[in-house]
Amino acid sequence: MIEGVSALGMLSSGSSVGAPTAPAAPADVASFEQALGQAIGSAVDTLKAGEAFAIQGVQGAATPMKVVESVMDAQRSLQSVLAIREKIVSAYQEIARMAI
Counting other chains too, the contacts that 24-28 makes at CB distance below 8 Å and 24 or more residues apart are none
For residue 54, give every residue at least 6 positions away whose Cβ sits within 8 Å of its Cβ, in sequence order, or none: 67, 70, 71
For residue 3, give every residue at least 6 positions away whose Cβ sits within 8 Å of its Cβ, in sequence order, or none: 38, 39, 42
pLDDT of residue 29: 74
- Give mean pLDDT in consecutive 10-residue pieces for the chain, a chain of 100 residues: 47 45 60 87 91 91 90 92 93 90
Q: Is the distance from CB of 88 to CB of 33 less than 8 angstroms?
A: no
Q: Which runs of E-coded beta strand occur in 31-74?
A: none
Look at the pTM and tell me if it is higher than 0.85: no
Closest C-alpha among 52, 58, 88, 91 to residue 71: 52
pLDDT of residue 85: 92
